[in-house]
Amino acid sequence: MQIWINEKMTTIDGSQTVDQLARQLRPGADVLILNGFPASPETVLKAGDELFLIKRGEIPSPDELEYLMAARHTPGIHARLKEACVGIAGVGGLGSAVATALARIGVGRLIMADFDVVEPSNLNRQQYFVDQLGMPKVEAMADTLRRVNPYIQLSTHRVLLDPDNLPVIFAPCNVVIEAFDRAEMKAMLVDTVMERLPDAAVVAASGVAGYGSNNGIQTRRLNKRLYLVGDGSSEAAPGNGLMAPRVGIAACQQANQAVRLILGEEL
């Protein structure tokens, strides 16, 4: 019968267990992932299974690494994510966390746009490091993401987005993440994508400041192509600053909504 082993179709004898096959093909493998979940060594394999055999501490070959990174995905998901393109407008607190999450799960291409540089005040919530201070954010983020996932395609634009350049920069995208600070920029992005990029969805954010209730951060569908994450009210202000935990909650909801759209769950 045929099963997938580390993303390669392989013919094996029937009635073999995970452990029997591991000892045969990769002696010493001690992480056994079957159909996206850790498997008992005694599990009997069946046709069509997807099995990953991983040896702790071993650096895999470049050909294997990309597939092993996706071993915990539901079978068939990685190929669909790899074909997708997501735009991220602003790579500050929200955008840098969204980019990191999407790179880790294997979204094939990210297009990032931001005009700013990394500053010390960014480090309380943004996915940057002290040695990146002074770097353009898009360049620093690209360096970090390549360390996370060397197989991702990255397009970076150090530019202030406006209604003229935004449709050009994000033209290839299935989903555009709005990750700006200012209300007028948020509105500009939503209006521009809705009018000029009819095949793209937008996942925007509003109300992520402070340390209020986790459950206040919600994802709402405003129309067929527009989603809004946040509590809708907690604006950054004196006494109500931007903090990594709550910004991170919102960013991961944005990233998860992008994945749902890529995989067709909301369409």
C-alpha span between 30 and 115 (Å, rounded): 46
| pLDDT tens by residue, 48-87 | 999 999 999 988 888 788 888 888 888 889 889 999 999 9
> What's the burial of 158, exposed, middle or buried (CB within 10 Å: 0-12/13-18/19+)?
middle
Quote the pLDDT of residue 251: 96
Q: What is the pLDDT of residues 14-53, one digit of tens each?
A: 889 999 999 999 899 999 999 999 999 999 999 999 999 9
**Cα–Cα distance between 110 and 201 in angstroms, integer?**
15
| Statement: residue 191 has pLDDT above 80 | yes
Question: Among 39-43, 175-179, 188-192, 200-204, whose mean pLDDT is lowest?
Answer: 39-43
> Thinking of the domain 78-262, which architecture would CATH place it in?
3-Layer(aba) Sandwich (3.40)
Q: Is the pTM of this model over 0.85?
A: yes
Residue spans per domain, the chain: 2-75, 78-262
> Looking at domain 2-75, which CATH architecture does it have?
Roll (3.10)
Average confidence (pLDDT) over 210-217: 85
Across all residues in the chain, what is the average pLDDT?
92
